[in-house]
Structure 1
Amino acid sequence: MVGEKKGEGRKKIVAVLPKGGPAAKNPKYLNCVENGLGLREWLESLGHIYITTADKEPPNSELDRNLLDTNIVITTPFHPAYITEERIMKAPKLELILTAGVGSDHIDLHAAAKKGITVAEVTGSNVESVAEDEIMRMLILVRNFLPGYLQIINNEWDVPAVAVKAYDIKGKTVGTVGGGRIAYEVMKRLKPWDVKRLYYDRHQKADRFDKMGVQWEKDLNSFLPECDVVTINVPLTDSTRGLINKETIGKMKRGAYLVNNARGAIVDQDAIIDALKSGQLGGYAGDVWPQQPAPSNHPWRHMPNHALTPHVSGTTLDAQVRYAAGVREMLEDWFQHKPFPEDYYIVREGELAPQYH
């Protein structure tokens, strides 16, 4: 395999992670510079060089300064180091890029494939975490939770002002754009709630959804008008970038809710703002942004009827254990020239995984 035949012996590994600060005092908080995914002692005992850094902005970051002789880069969707073609060209020894988590769109996959670099992620590691978070955000929007919370911290008490826009989710129609693992877990969790469940997948019907009573719709234009709540569960690719835009939002029910824990660039930033201001969208919730970290002046921070957070849904302490273990598993395999689990590969032998075509 193209990357798996490169280099023997000692490796230089750079992991780009956020600074944990006080959170790093909790040994269970693995996703930080200080705790380094729990890999340092093991890697250094094998004689490898292991550098953890939060400094990732080009051109003179610690990441950039180390690229010349780095063999393996580990990054994460929650503090993404954008591995551009320019960076790949400056890294002659780079053979492997691992995502600690799910979602490798912060990497120029075409450039990695062209150079023979293997790219992999810990597929499925935070599926349950993200699915649970999506259910929470649906309820926050439908029940109009945030205005009530803000009343309390602002020493107010006005029940009608909250209840006038609060609904039950029972009897509503909830649809997922995308039919992958996370979408399945979301629909499974909604099964006892007496909601109509739909999924949009333009490629094919999924038997597992059919068996669960989730209806398939292959046409986005007929799917969107049916839904009271739409949740986005597709990867960011050339075909999904800007998929939810002014036109597609206009096909939704007026006042419908949109949940996006997938990737910020799947939606049109300005279209979301306009739809919330006009009332075409009743609310928007999620934890992914067009740029991460989002700048302090990002307009999404102050738009009406939103329930946005930093990119946290897939990095619970439980998920961190799973994706840290997955990174170690792949490193062990790499050092021993063994293949990864098949569905971990994003770029392999110069070819992209089907979902990124």
Structure 2
Amino acid sequence: MRPADLFDLGLLGVRTRKARAALSAAGIAIGIATLVVVTGIPASSRQALDRQLSALGTNRLQAAPVPDRDPPVLLPAESVDMVSRIGPVTVASAVADFGQTITRSDRTAPGDFNALAVLAAKTNLLRAVNGTVRAGRFLDDAMARFPTVVLGSVAAQRLGFAGLDPGRPAQVYVGRRWFTVIGILDPVPLSPDIDRSVMIGWPAAAQWLRFGGHPTRIYVQTTDDQVEAVTAVLAATVDPQHPGNVLVSRPSDALAAKRAVQQTFGALFLGLAGIALLVGGLGVANTMYISVLERRREIGLRRALGANRGQIRIQFLTESIVLSVLGGAAGILCGVLATAAYSTAQNWPVAVPAGSTAGGLGGALVVGVLAGVYPAIRAARLHPTEALASV
């Protein structure tokens, strides 16, 4: 018989016994759907958790001069540009506290101290600290050159700004000069010092307030897997001549928690996926074994008409593989839909690992082969006389 004829013969049991084939495929479908769901839902949950942990600054570092030195430590003016050239660094920004005070009026007494810092700020600061603007706008390349300021949330409250009116520009008094308020920030959990600060563009601070260009705090964002590597070289990059004068913050404890969660989820995925495949495989094996017992008459008749043992084996093995593949495809579809529905209901990002879908289909194929081997061998060993006499 030609291979095409053998394959068509293997589909005979599927075509003629549709209800039983559907129930048999349902067994493996449930197993594969379980595989997709138990990997997809935790993967979606893990992505949501990763976002929450990332908001805690797991991939962010800070570099600052060592305090309480005499004379005070000054970081090189070009240090931010040097840090930005570190390969894994995605964002490098900075602020500089250069000793200015801010008031709402030029009539305020010199001793009226409001505990607010005036900072020169880079235009990409919000990206580095994960900040957002509540009202107005932040400094950009154009506004950073003009006498404009952005207020932190606490600074706006202390200065009496509940919001901004575009029709009536508000001003504050900094270093004997009026500056226009163009924005107010939301609270910045990663850097509470920003909340109590008033930010001026780097060029504007140099032009109108005699700022020397030396940063006092550098904010660095990198990838989670490169945090330690960047930490190791950050001090020497900020100040190559005196790296001991640079204090580098350590990665957040949330990073360790994030990695522990990922490892735990990985072990959970493997265990649940193995159980799901085992259940599906046992279902197909049981179905095929019963099929051999039920179809002894067919096997005996085909052997009596000249079919050899190899053809009988191929017939039952093909049927087992077809049932498993059909069940696997149906299981993948059901699993993806269930994962998407549940993740959407929980406001999680939908994440179905490609490995689980490919592994599900490949696993169904492997399960079909393994589950069909013994029944196929048993069917091939039946003697025609014995098979016909047992009916």
TM-score of the superposition, structure 2-length normalised?
A: 0.26
TM-score of the superposition, structure 1-length normalised?
A: 0.27
Q: Which has the larger radius of gyration?
A: 2
Tell me which protein shows more helix as a share of its residues: 2
